[in-house]
């Protein structure tokens, strides 16, 4: 609308200026010099008015854009002028300026809300640019780092080099935990990082939060589950031993007196031998249970070396070859990960994969076309991800929450420590193991490094 008002104002003045020139030329042609002089003066006045009008519009636009550039919302053009064209221009400029001011106010409120939200967040938040300068840091982050203020990562490097090294070594999407002393207490702090680009600059956003309470709660819950399972296993062995010992004692003690050898019957002797065998079996079961518990508590520390992906997968295929043939299972190995090598302890990781293959083989009992697939691919954060999938009987949601618990098993001859050991080994490799399934169709275990 303002451009139309301006155009009409210019066109009107330009038409008048042109008309005056034609009139002056005609008067000169008729030798009407007096009127010609008057026409010339009218031409000068009209030309000056046209020039002033155009410059006035330009000045107003210049003032407007300068006000926008300097974020000055106080600029206001008078709207009660007599010139309708100029009044329309002023109204539009004022309306645009008001809209820009309202947008700035909303933006300022949003920024203030965001900063207040970050400041009062229970999680520590730190935003760092490419040069290591801290753009944003909230009170929770300062409390966790133990610093009164933080403007550059070099300050954190001097104060807490361990935390600094951990943060600098994290890749986008990764997370780590670290123990940080806080007076007489020791905090367990989880650190995660994400990368964003804003205003042509790249920032790393670190989140830090104390997970000590969560770990303690999870640890207590795990111990309670473990104690229930251990109690169940031990009572299953002790109860028959106690019952048998009382029964056998009844063969040899009558009315408080020991039975003489000549008074024993052959049936009682046979029952005694049978009962002692059962006691021996239960004792062996307890010994095996204790040995399995010792295995859980004595997982060796991994020796990290470069593992050739293709060679390692081929060695697993060869180790499983005899079982594959005996159980009539088809093993498929697919490697789409771009890296030829990855760091890890080959013996421990081989133990994990073979344990998953053994579990999958047992889950395939009764399945017509037995199939297991091992897939090596790229995970969400660009790291290695291994999948072991079978088309067996699977498990339900309730079992998924328990299968990684020590001594939990759904098999009669199972020890219940295979998956627990596998989880420990993956944690020692700074990775994780998870499971998913559709009951009666398939089961899949995922190893993320």
**What does the domain layout of the chain look like in residue ranges?**
2-111, 121-210, 215-297, 305-448
Cα–Cα distance measured from residue 285 to residue 289, given in angstroms and rounded to the nearest whole number: 6
The three-state DSSP-derived secondary structure of the chain is CHHHHHHHHHHHHHHHHHHHHHHHHHHHHCCCHHHHHHHHHHHHHHHHHHHHHHHHHHHHHHHHHHHHHCCCCCCCCCCCCCCHHHHHHHHHHHHHHHHHHHHHHHHHHHHHHHHHHHHHCCCEEEEECCCCEEEEECHHHHHHHCCCCCCEHHHHHHHCHHHHHHHHHCCCCCEEEEEEEECCEEEEEEEEEEEEEECCEEEEEEEEEECHHHHHHHHHHHHHHHHHHHHHHHHHHHHHHHHHHHHHHHHHEECCEECCHHHCCHHHHHHHHHHHHHHHHHHHHHHHHHHHHHHHHCCCCCCCEEEEHHHHHHHHHHHCHHHHHHCCCEEEEEECCCCCEEEECHHHHHHHHHHHHHHHHHHCCCCCCCEEEEEEEECCCCCEEEEEEECCCCCCHHHHCCCCCCCCCCCCCCCCCHHHHHHHHHHHCCCEEEEEEECCCEEEEEEEC
Distances (CA, A) of 137 to 151, 173, 263, 417: 9, 20, 89, 44
Predicted pLDDT of residue 227: 66
Same fold, 121-210 and 305-448: no
Architecture of the CATH domain 121-210: 2-Layer Sandwich (3.30)
The CATH number of 215-297 is 1.10.287
Q: Which of 208, 192, 205 is closest to 128 using CA atoms?
A: 205
- pTM reported for the whole predicted model: 0.46
Q: Which CATH architecture has domain 305-448?
A: 2-Layer Sandwich (3.30)
Q: pLDDT at position 390, please?
A: 92
Cα–Cα distance, 152 to 163 (Å, whole number):
14
Q: What is the pLDDT of residue 172?
A: 80
Q: At what angle do helices 418-428 and 346-363 cross, to 10 degrees?
A: 150
Mean pLDDT, 10 residues at a time, the chain of 449 residues: 53 74 73 75 77 68 71 72 69 78 76 68 82 85 84 88 85 77 70 81 84 64 65 67 73 72 71 75 68 63 88 88 86 90 89 88 87 89 87 81 70 65 84 86 89
Q: What is the pLDDT of residue 2?
A: 45
For residues 421 and 220, give the distance between their C-alpha atoms in angstroms, rounded to a whole number. 19
Here the tokens at position 257 are 């007196």
What is residue 389's predicted lDDT score, i.e. its pLDDT?
Answer: 93
Q: Which pLDDT does position 174 carry in this prediction? A: 73
Helix 212-252 vs helix 266-297: angle between axes, to the nearest 10 degrees? 170
């Amino acid at each position: 609308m303002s451009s139309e008002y301006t155009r009409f104002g210019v066109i009107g003045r330009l038409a008048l200026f042109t008309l005056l020139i034609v009139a002056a030329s005609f008067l000169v042609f008729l030798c009407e010099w007096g009127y010609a002089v008057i026409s010339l003066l009218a031409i000068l006045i009209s030309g000056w008015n046209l020039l002033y009008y155009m410059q006035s519009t330009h000045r107003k636009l210049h003032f407007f854009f300068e006000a926008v550039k300097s974020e000055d919302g106080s600029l206001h053009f008078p709207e009660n002028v007599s010139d309708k064209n100029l009044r329309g221009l002023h109204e539009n400029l004022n309306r645009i300026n008001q809209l820009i001011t309202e947008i700035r106010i909303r933006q300022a409120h949003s920024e203030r809300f965001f900063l207040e939200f970050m400041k009062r967040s229970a999680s520590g938040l730190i935003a760092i640019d490419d040069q290591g300068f801290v753009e944003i840091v909230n009170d929770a982050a300062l409390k966790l780092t133990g610093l009164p203020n933080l403007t550059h990562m070099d300050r954190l490097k001097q104060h807490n080099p361990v935390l600094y090294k951990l943060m600098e070594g994290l890749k986008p999407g990764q997370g780590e935990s670290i123990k940080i002393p806080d007076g007489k207490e020791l905090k367990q702090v989880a650190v995660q990082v994400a990368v964003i680009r804003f205003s042509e600059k790249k920032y790393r956003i670190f989140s830090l939060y104390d997970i000590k309470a969560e770990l303690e709660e999870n640890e207590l819950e795990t111990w309670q589950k473990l104690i229930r399972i251990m109690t169940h296993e031990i009572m299953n062995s002790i109860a028959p031993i106690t019952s048998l010992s009382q029964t056998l004692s009844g063969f040899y003690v009558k009315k408080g007196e020991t039975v003489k050898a000549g008074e024993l019957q052959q049936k009682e002797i046979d029952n005694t031998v049978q009962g002692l065998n059962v006691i021996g079996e239960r004792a062996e079961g307890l010994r095996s249970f204790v040995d399995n518990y010792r295995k859980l508590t004595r997982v060796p520390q991994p020796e990290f070396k470069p593992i050739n992906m293709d060679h390692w997968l081929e060695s697993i295929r060869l180790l499983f070859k005899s079982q594959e043939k005996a159980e009539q299972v088809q093993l498929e190995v697919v490697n789409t990960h771009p890296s030829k090598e990855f760091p890890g302890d080959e013996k421990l990781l081989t133990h994990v994969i073979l344990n998953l293959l053994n579990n999958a083989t047992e889950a395939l009992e009764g399945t017509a076309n037995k199939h297991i697939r091992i897939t090596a691919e790229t995970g969400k954060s660009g790291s290695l991800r291994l999948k072991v999938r079978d088309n067996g009987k699977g498990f339900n949601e309730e079992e998924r929450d328990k299968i990684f618990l020590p001594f939990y098993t759904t098999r009669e001859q199972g020890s219940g420590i295979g998956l627990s050991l596998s989880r420990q080994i993956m944690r020692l490799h700074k990775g994780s193991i998870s499971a998913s399934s559709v009951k009666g169709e398939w089961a899949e275990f995922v190893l993320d490094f």
